[in-house]
Amino acid sequence: MSTSTAAGAMPAKTYVSIGQIKPLGAKLDEIPDAGGGCSSHGGEGKASCGSSGGPDDMPSEIWDKVKNHPCYSEEAHHHYARMHVAVAPACNIQCNYCNRKYDCSNESRPGVVSQKLTPEQAVKKVVAVASEIPQMTVLGVAGPGDSLANPKKTFDTFRMLQEQAPDIKLCISTNGLALPDHVDEICKYNVDHVTITINMVDPAVGEKIYPWIFWDHKRVTGYEAAKILHERQMLGLEMLTARGVLTKINSVLIPGINDEHLIEVNREVKKRGAFLHNIMPLISEAEHGTVFGLTGQRGPTAQELKAVQDACMGGANLMRHCRQCRADAVGLLGEDRSEEFTLDKIEQMEVVYDLDRRRAYQDRVETERQAQHEAKQEALAAAGAIEVADDLKVLVAVATKGGGRVNEHFGHVTEFQIFEVSAREALFVGHRRVDLYCQGGFGDDEQLPSVVKAINDCHAVLVAKIGGCPRDELLQAGIEPVDQYVNEFIEKAALDWFNDYRGRIASGAVVHQDRGDAQIRQGAFTGAAQAA
């Protein structure tokens, strides 16, 4: 197999392309409703409330659980932060995309080894972060190994934290092997959010991903290992659903191994009550030293990832804003403030855990969020009233530094948000990480080709400002730079641009052409990468 998609061309062989996959929605009639997901908890028949849903899409007790969890609510991730504590070093399985020298790639990008913590150190760190970042609402244990292969450390951390900071939501991520043994404890500590990484529901697929598991005091390999893992994952998921715990399924898309199979995974986890399904691209480079990295197994392109995600629409609700964060990540998704909170720095900090201050801050966040939500609904409602005969849809990249607005300079972007726009709606469909173009006040033209590749499937890029050189290069690549919607809400700006674009097509001023594929940036998102 070819090596992974390093700088340059798209892979010679594509496994998945739009149009080749049968959408899952078509098969929904065959799926018995097992009482899971928000649509089956009284979601009024809406098939896709998921992480993009709001209070009108789900029962209030579910909304209360997700409204300020940045991973379970797409809207919340613009406003609320999470942090991970690396208290779980051991793992009970081996994944071919993991190298134990690095963090667990189920929930974190390989790249930088975490500072491993004892539960006492972890709790101290959480309280310190919570006193500095009042919008930090969720503590997750996501490695660097498996949270439930280290149950004592994981649950000791939760127990002590609940005593000191009861307002912080608890979250874990696990490969699922040990999950059924710990459901009681998960409920005892009010862990309301559990992520299970499920990459297959067929052991024949699983044995290509997992060389071994450690089970019943011995190492089990091959098909048998994958079969045990699969059965434990399904059992654990069913048990959590029965106890009312919200579950999210993470799946790593591995081209040629489980790409189309993930549609089956989506169907099976929906049946068992999963709240969300997060399909993530495989990160695979030889320098990570993983089996897949060393054997040249590549990750998916942006369009391959989107094709599988789109094919799952109508099944278990999708999360599309995952940042594959590190096991010691701190901050909003997509930012990494872990360097500010190393153990030695915490020792120097004056820590005051002020619950009232946290609540007051979060009240202000809610007011701002409400304004954004209303502006978005207004823009979508206005667009919904437009009658159009065709179903033209395009992708646009948006430069934003938050607040749901077009407010970032092209040169300062480390991550574009991607929206799929039609005459009636502008839907968030993901993000694309890029290397910073502006270095120390000057544009670095060597970075431009990689930025263009990352958004090459987009027709336009909405920015607050852009220099002459990148503007020309984007135009040459067929991507329209748009800087006339500065500070506008993204959905409104995207819809206005799209309607203008349609007008230009109708008048003959432009000829609409399909775009190509785009590249998913491989490599760690670290503070260093951000500042580089």
For the CA atoms of the chain, what is the radius of gyration?
Answer: 22
The total of other beta-carbon atoms located within 10 Å of residue 480's CB is: 17
Q: What is the per-residue binding string for ligand SF4 in 218-257, x denoting contact by CB under 6 A?
A: ----------------------------------------
How near is the Cβ of 394 to ligand SF4 at its closest, in Å? 36
Task: Decide: is 107 part of the binding site for ligand CLF (CB under 6 A).
Answer: yes
Give the pair of three-digit tokens for residue 207.
């044995």
DSSP string for 167-224: TSEEEEEE-STTGGGGHHHHHHTT--EEEEE---SSHHHHTTT-SEEEETTEEEEHHH
Strand arrangement, sheet containing 169-174? 318-319, 276-281, 246-253, 193-197, 169-174, 136-141, 81-84, 330-331
CA distance 449 to 440: 19
Binds 121, which of ligand SF4, ligand CLF, none (CB < 5 to 8 A, cut-off by type)?
none
Site size for ligand SF4 (CB under 6 A): 12
What are the residues whose beta carbons fall under 8 Å from the beta carbon of 143, sequence distance 6 or more?
Answer: 84, 86, 88, 103, 104, 106, 107, 108, 114, 173, 327
Q: How far is the CB of 275 from ligand CLF (least distance, A)?
A: 11
Out of 36, 145, 293, 314, the only residue in the binding site for ligand SF4 (CB under 6 A) is 145
The DSSP 8-state label assigned to residue 95 in this structure reads -
Q: How far apart are CA 200 and CA 97, in angstroms?
A: 14
Q: Is 38 in the site for ligand SF4 (CB under 6 A)?
A: no
Identify which of residues 312 and 448 has a Cβ nearer to ligand CLF in the complex. Answer: 312
Which one of 28-36, 98-106, 224-232, 429-437 is the stretch in contact with ligand SF4 (CB under 6 A)?
A: 98-106
Which residue's CB is nearer to ligand SF4, number 323 or number 369? 323
Per the CB < 8 A criterion, the answer to whether 16 and 304 are in contact is: yes
Least distance from C-beta 411 to ligand CLF, angstroms? 26
Which of 132, 253, 251, 142 is closest to 197 using CA atoms? 251
Residue 421 has phi, psi (to 5 degrees) of -115, 130
| Residues sharing a CB contact under 8 Å with residue 283, sequence separation 6 or more, in sequence order | 97, 105, 109, 110, 299, 324, 522, 523
Does 171 bind ligand CLF (CB under 6 A)? Our answer is yes
Binding range to ligand CLF, per CB under 6 A, among 43-51, 137-145, 263-271, 373-381: 137-145
Selected from 68, 92, 135, 324, the binder of ligand CLF by CB under 6 A is 324
Identity of the residue, 105 or 131, whose beta carbon is nearer to ligand CLF in the bound complex: 105
The reply to whether 91 sits near ligand SF4 by the rule CB under 6 A is: yes
Q: Which CB, 37 or 300, lies closer to ligand SF4? A: 300
Q: Which two tokens stand for residue 443?
A: 């544009």
Where does residue 206 fall: left (phi above 0), alpha (psi -120 to 50 degrees), or beta otherwise? alpha
Near ligand CLF by CB under 6 A: residue from 114, 137, 173, 407: 173
Supply angle C-alpha 251, 398, 49, rounded to 5.
Answer: 45
Give whole-number Cα distances, 306 to 20, 165, 418, 420, in Å: 12, 39, 11, 11
- List C-alpha distances in Å: 526 to 133, 155, 412: 19, 28, 16
Q: Which does 138 bind (CB under 5 to 8 A by kind): ligand CLF, ligand SF4, none?
A: ligand CLF
Supply the minimum distance, in Å, between the C-beta of residue 248 and ligand CLF: 6
Q: Is 140 in the site for ligand CLF (CB under 6 A)?
A: yes
* Contact call for residue 110 and ligand SF4 (CB under 6 A): no
- Which residue in the shown chain puts its C-beta closest to ligand CLF? 140
What residue ranges in 45-166 does DSSP mark as E strands? 81-84, 93-94, 136-141
Binding of residue 104 to ligand SF4 (CB under 6 A)? yes
Contact window for ligand CLF (CB under 6 A) among 47-55, 136-144, 254-262, 338-346: 136-144
Smallest separation, CB 199 to ligand SF4 (Å): 10
Q: Which is nearer to ligand SF4, 11 or 143 (CB)?
A: 143
Applying CB under 6 A, the residues found at the interface with ligand CLF are 71, 82, 84, 107, 138, 140, 142, 171, 173, 193, 195, 248, 278, 322-325, 333
Applying CB under 6 A, the residues found at the interface with ligand SF4 are 91, 93-95, 98, 104-106, 143, 145-146, 175
